[in-house]
A = this chain, B = another copy of it.
Amino acid sequence: MKGGYMLNELDPLLHSELRLAVMSILIGVEEADFVYLREQTNATAGNLSVQLDKLSTAGYIEVRKSFKGKMSHTTCRITPVGIDAFARYVDTIKGYLHISG
């Protein structure tokens, strides 16, 4: 996928519908909790859990697990690394979409 025309490689971590959705939401907000993300993306909890792990492992988001009483509560926020990766992804995919600027 390298060396071609004008098509650079798309970050495989972001080129996934659910992970991209999560990043898209997080980039516009200070932080969001697990339930909010699940509602907004309509993902199953299991799928969301897995994808948040991947984003977290990559350092794209920070996941904080706290307790409200004894009930767990998970909040996520995007990191500077994540913001950067998202920006690069946007630039790259613009090449595919024939969007200039």
A binding-site residues for B, Cβ under 8 Å: 1-5, 7, 9-10, 12, 15, 17-18, 20-21, 24-25, 27-28, 39-43, 90, 93, 95-99
Contacting pair A4 B98 (CB below 8 A)? no
Copies in the complex: 2
Contacting pair B4 A21 (CB below 8 A)? yes
Q: CA separation between A42 and B3, bound complex, in Å?
A: 7
Contacting pair B15 A96 (CB below 8 A)? no
Q: CA separation between A10 and B9, bound complex, in Å?
A: 19
Contacting pair B5 A40 (CB below 8 A)? yes
Q: Which residues of B lie under 8 Å from residue A43 when comparing CB positions? A: 1
Q: CA separation between A19 and B77, bound complex, in Å?
A: 32
